[in-house]
Structure 1
């Protein structure tokens, strides 16, 4: 009986820990790192900001904040994400 109870708890925890959306950002560590990635394209008019993840993260990524207030992880090798980052960080003269 105790074994069954422990297995149920373990199963519940594993589902909870593995059921994050594709835009999961790790806010627990001092540096933001992405572990799941959005593969689609976000229209430029919906992008509020684009920031790079910490250099010590396993995967190089951008965290894209949208006008709706969500944060989406995208890989740095996506052209549209690179362009959005460049546009946001372009020096204005």
Structure 2
């Protein structure tokens, strides 16, 4: 009977270890290989340039190339970077950033 108990404990320990390590592997892969933020739909209404504080590009691993505009009131909008009004706002923000950097030198 004692021998039977020993044989049953080892597979249980082995299975527990396998489950634990596979769970950790899944968690690690999700955190290290996936982008933090992607856009799946674009806001299509033209946003006022004066209310856009900044912009950032989404990760290149996202299925759609996108830009996220951050607004004065804290909102964020996914927009299509190929649209003219989006390009104009991005250029204006780049110029403003360059001017600010040059003034601080």
What band does the TM-score fall into relative to the shorter chain? 0.5 to 0.7
Taking structure 2 as the reference length, the TM-score comes to 0.55
1:81 equivalent in structure 2:
86
Which one of the candidate residues 24, 49, 53 is aligned to 1:48? 53
- Root mean square deviation of aligned Cα: 1.5
- Structure 2 gaps of 5+ residues are 1-33
Taking structure 1 as the reference length, the TM-score comes to 0.61
Which structure is higher in RCO with an 8 Å CA cutoff and minimum separation 6? 1
Verify: 1:62 aligned to 2:67, yes or no: yes
Q: Which runs of 4+ in 1 moved over 3 A?
A: 90-93
Q: Determine which structure has the larger helix proportion and give its number.
A: 2
How many residues align structurally? 65
- Structure 1 gaps of 5+ residues are 1-28
